[in-house]
Amino acid sequence: MAVNSPLPVAADLKPVAGIDIGFAQAGIKKPNRKDVLVMTLAATATVAGVFTKNRFCAAPVQVSKANLAAVTAGGAPIRALVVNTGNANAGTGESGLAKAHETCAALAKLLGCEPQQVLPFSTGVILEPLPVEKIVAGLPAAIANLKQDNWFNAAEAIMTTDTQPKAASRTVTIGGHTVTMTGISKGAGMIKPNMATMLGYLAFDAKVAQPVLDQLVRHAADQSFNCITIDGDTSTNDSFMLIATGAGNLEVDDVASPHYAVLRDAVTDIARNLAQQIIRDGEGATKFITITVEEGSSVDECRRIAYSIAHSPLVKTAFFASDPNLGRILAAIGYAGVDDLDVSKLDMYLDDVWVAKNGGRNPDYQEADGQRVMKQSEITVRVTLGRGDAAATVWTCDLSHEYVTINADYRS
Amino acid sequence: MAVNSPLPVAADLKPVAGIDIGFAQAGIKKPNRKDVLVMTLAATATVAGVFTKNRFCAAPVQVSKANLAAVTAGGAPIRALVVNTGNANAGTGESGLAKAHETCAALAKLLGCEPQQVLPFSTGVILEPLPVEKIVAGLPAAIANLKQDNWFNAAEAIMTTDTQPKAASRTVTIGGHTVTMTGISKGAGMIKPNMATMLGYLAFDAKVAQPVLDQLVRHAADQSFNCITIDGDTSTNDSFMLIATGAGNLEVDDVASPHYAVLRDAVTDIARNLAQQIIRDGEGATKFITITVEEGSSVDECRRIAYSIAHSPLVKTAFFASDPNLGRILAAIGYAGVDDLDVSKLDMYLDDVWVAKNGGRNPDYQEADGQRVMKQSEITVRVTLGRGDAAATVWTCDLSHEYVTINADYRS
């Protein structure tokens, strides 16, 4: 189903020393389905995360933020993460918070650590009470099958409307040390992350100081999960967690270290891969669209225009139909809220086809050329604003009948 | 097709003294279809309008704005309006502007006035050259059938993907004088007006001074066309024109006049009716949704939250499916960009059903009650923020398979 995104192969997902993974079928929403994931960390591990800016941020997001802040304030390190699907524990008020704490306490007791050393995550339906007793009942089974080589199962355990698991793995040599990185993510609707995506976890076996990891996670998120959108709906549960297990030989204590830049680029590259997998498997997606806006006076205005194009239902349905009705893209640029935009300096390209010139139709543009590109499954829209040298890129997908079908049936 | 919106009856649309209407089948995009509309005005008429804020505003919008400004600067009054469907003349650069001027010049010559006394309007596909020669060729036929009692034909002549014409008419007595008002509008996609809707025309036979009419049109638009959205796509061609023909006995020279408030409320009421007809006939609409946000600290934040709900594809598909997956509404509230929103003070109602209380699920809420309301064809979402006394209302529709079908096929 996903657009040009082959199924990850379990054997390609490299174990990361210092992190063990277990899962359970807890029957949270449906039976016989992996729906609880536990990750336990070496004592040397550091963890950093970015979370949704949605004001209705979910109870587990609130607890995870607080527990990470406690580490920064000098508390004991994070020892485990626990994820459930089938219920978002969002819009659940005080009782939702209590249930997120209860999950942490149950896992901490089994692992012999403090509840504050556990980070909880949830994804699924909003505004419904979390069946915490099912999660707690599933934890012993998850702990029983903890092992390093469980990333494929982890990717499957966090799926909701995803049609396939999302994972990526690579090794990189930094300062003579081999660093192994593996990550997983999930979509597939309510995706317009603002600081992070629905759920993404990326681990590697270097030892990284907390302030360095904090900076690294923000950089990677801004260049990956914060550049994607499926439907413009920023979720209540977005979380992207970066875990440095410290089990390898590389150590990075300072962002000024020459090793930092290499690590940052490797982490960002794999995060971008995970983010793009979410778009390729976006609900109902049949096309993968890259939107690049260049020559802006600020990155912010470039992003605003790129998102305006990416969110337009009319643009998205035109992509679905392979219809070069490209004036819809101009309209979306025009209402993006860049009030002093001089459209007479604007050009637009569809892949290699020069469609709009100086704000109007390029006299040399032939509809057959636009049609040829629109039929592809991967398309790049490039807009040049002619007012500066800032640029931004956003990845999105089309809007199909299948999107409506999926979201009209989600809870059934 | 339209949601609870009966077809206007031609006999109910009252002629307005001082305005004559003619139409033609000019074959702009398809044969045998009314696609050119001409309205001629009495010498006593004043005209005021509001237009799209889209930076890619269409060539005819630029010309109409300039010609209205010329009147305000002391020029000769507007004598005619000309509308074509089938082509938006937007994203067409300098040649598009020349063609809009050519349309005005051709009509002015036939009517014996100056080109600046004509306001041009276009609606249809963006980024395609306007076939101005077809419009010009159609003008004599339109002039030949000019008459006062032609409003139903006018409503039909401006339709694009609309499934039915939109019109409303009424009389109101002000200061002992009977004022007759009739208006028309069109949708049905690329609808999230910012200052006005795609096309709306409202005429009445009072004599109103230009500064009074300028204020009146802004008030009416803000309370009607500026409160609707179908797909969040602000068009390049939005225009709402208010015409006071001056052919009746009522005169309003000052907004401080006691007659002004009565006139304002009557005009606003009919404008709201026309705006709501657009939503009821929104592309693929099966439900008419009213979203009211109350107890805000400003009207702007109430509108922002209401639009965030109204634009969420997940909320819109849930309405289509009659699925009370109401957590999606909370998510849309949470990402609306009101950064200091305290969700613990927020309540949400679906018609009379109290769904969310203090930011969480109301303990007394029963899903069966939510289900009952979701099955209706007219639904009100009411959100109370608990932080002030400002309020705003937005009208929208659901997102159905039919929307995707229509917009994947629009140009075929």
Tens of pLDDT, residues B8-43: 999 999 999 999 999 999 999 999 999 999 999 999
Among left, alpha and beta (phi > 0; psi -120 to 50; other), residue A337 is left
A315 to chain B: closest CA residue: B407
pLDDT of residue A231: 85
Q: Is B98 within 8 Å of chain A by CB? A: no
Tally of CA atoms within 13 A in the half-sphere of B185 that contains its CB: 34
**CATH 3.10.20.340 location in chain A:** 288-409
Residue A320 to residue B54, Cβ atoms within 8 A: no
Contact yes or no for A244/A45 (Cβ under 8 A): yes
Scan residues 207-266 of A and list those with Cβ closer than 8 Å to B. Answer: 231-236
User: How many angstroms away from the CA of A68 is the closest CA of chain B?
Assistant: 22
Q: Is B312 within 8 Å of chain A by CB? A: yes
The mean of the pLDDT values for chain A is: 93
Contact residues on chain B for A330, CB-CB shorter than 8 A:
56, 90-91, 126-127, 236
Strands annotated E in A259-359: 288-296, 347-350, 353-357
Count of all residues that appear for chain A in the document: 412
For the stretch A329-366, pLDDT in tens is: 999 999 999 989 999 999 999 999 999 999 999 999 99
Contact yes or no for B100/B260 (Cβ under 8 A): no
pLDDT of residue B399: 94
Name beta bridge partners: A168: A183
pLDDT < 50 stretches in chain B: 412
Contact yes or no for A369/A353 (Cβ under 8 A): yes
pLDDT of residue A236: 86
- State yes or no: pLDDT of A196 exceeds 70: no
Closest C-alpha among B53, B45, B33 to residue B76: B45
For the stretch A146-176, pLDDT in tens is: 999 999 999 999 998 889 999 999 999 999 9
Residue A331 to residue B190, Cβ atoms within 8 A: yes
- State yes or no: pLDDT of A412 exceeds 60: no
For the stretch A50-92, pLDDT in tens is: 998 889 989 999 999 999 999 999 999 999 999 999 999 999 9
Q: Is A337 within 8 Å of chain B by CB? A: no
**CATH 3.60.70.12 location in chain A:** 10-280
Q: Is B359 within 8 Å of chain A by CB? A: yes
Q: How far is Cα B97 from Cα A144, in angstroms, rounded to an integer?
A: 73
Contact residues on chain B for A326, CB-CB shorter than 8 A:
127
For the stretch B362-403, pLDDT in tens is: 999 999 999 999 999 999 999 999 999 999 999 999 999 999
Contact residues on chain A for B194, CB-CB shorter than 8 A:
335
Residue B331 to residue A234, Cβ atoms within 8 A: yes
Provide CB contacts within 8 A for B277, sequence distance 6+: B2, B5, B166, B168, B185
Fold for A288-409, please state it: Ubiquitin-like (UB roll) (3.10.20)
For the stretch A104-121, pLDDT in tens is: 999 999 999 999 999 999
User: How many angstroms away from the CA of B168 is the closest CA of chain A?
Assistant: 29
Among B127, B235, B327, beta carbon nearest to A90: B327
Catalytic residue among A46, A85, A197, A286: A197
Provide CB contacts within 8 A for B409, sequence distance 6+: A321, A323
Residue A333 to residue B55, Cβ atoms within 8 A: yes
Closest C-alpha among B47, B316, B25 to residue B204: B47
Residue A195's pLDDT band (boundaries 50, 70, 90)? Answer: low
- State yes or no: pLDDT of A238 exceeds 90: no
**Which residue in B328, B343, B375, B383 has the most chain A C-beta atoms within 10 A of its own C-beta, making it the best mutation to test that interface?**
B328
pLDDT of residue B43: 94
Q: Under CATH, to which class is B10-280 assigned?
A: alpha beta
